[in-house]
Amino acid sequence: MVTAKENDTKMSRSALRRIREKEQRFKTILSAAETLFARKGYNQTSIEEIADMAEVSTGSVYFYFKNKEDLLIKLMQEIGYYLRKLLGEELRKTDFSLNSLQHIAFAFLRDFCLNHPEKITIFFRESVGQSAEVEDQRKELFIKLTSEIRDAVLKISEGLGKRFVTESSPELIAVCIVGIYERIACHYLLWQDRSEDMMDIAGETSSFMLGGVSNLFSQDET
């Protein structure tokens, strides 16, 4: 005879299994959308194609996502979170020294761009020129990334015991770094296939950034 407690345990396990299955289906659909958006383009991809690649029904896609735009926004959120997490971990490894900027240049270009071409295609190309909601999401992600790099630049200056020439210098540096990352990804990976040169490009990029940061330190300090 099955007791009430045993029945509750079985129900709990069953409920947990259903939750895991839903989470896995959500991830599978999102992964299929990422592949197709990068391969065919966002505008050229249909919900039916995403469902077919994910091996689910079209209705299942609409159960988890309102529409194709919702899929794109969710992808951007995941990609943005992954990138910010990657750069944040790299900064913490270096204890926010001046060389931290070199490490995040390599982390972005090597660990993010080279290892995840589909993510950069969506983040820097397929999300451009879409709806106001998508553009708002792009803006939010870039603002968050810029803010976190600005905070890292401030910690670097504090660790060195230096001040910047103006209060706006850390934010300006962060804006330039984010802009450089975007242009390099587009120019050398999306518009050209220069992946074999990426390590050299990463080294030159970090040298460029280090020189710019050093020049914005107040010169009246030792």
Q: Look at the domain 69-215 and name its fold.
A: Tetracycline Repressor; domain 2 (1.10.357)
User: What confidence score (pLDDT) does residue 47 get?
Assistant: 97
CB atoms within 10 A of CB 162: 17
Nearest to 37 by CA among 111, 135, 125: 125
Please, are residues 60 and 120 in contact by the beta-carbon 8 Å criterion? no
Residue 4: per-residue pLDDT: 52
Residue 117: name the closest of 39, 30, 26 by CA: 39
Residue 218: how many CB atoms within 10 A of its CB?
Answer: 12
pLDDT score, position 12? 82
Residue range(s) in the chain whose domain bears CATH number 1.10.10.60: 1-65
> What pLDDT is recorded for position 7?
54
CATH 1.10.357.10 intervals, the chain: 69-215
pLDDT score recorded for residue 3: 53
Task: Give the type of residue at 194.
Answer: R
* Closest-CA residue to 117 (of 201, 38, 192, 54): 38
Structure tokens at 161: 């015991």
Tell me what pLDDT residue 79 has.
92
What is the full per-residue pLDDT of the chain (222 aa) written as tens digits?
A: 445 555 555 558 777 877 888 899 999 999 999 999 999 999 999 999 999 999 999 999 999 999 999 999 999 999 999 999 998 888 888 777 788 888 888 889 888 999 999 999 999 999 999 999 999 999 999 999 999 999 989 988 888 888 999 999 999 999 999 999 899 999 999 999 899 998 899 889 888 888 888 889 887 654
What is the predicted pLDDT for the residue at 213? 87
pLDDT attached to residue 115: 92
- Identify the architecture of domain 1-65 in CATH: Orthogonal Bundle (1.10)
| Token couple for 211 | 């020189």
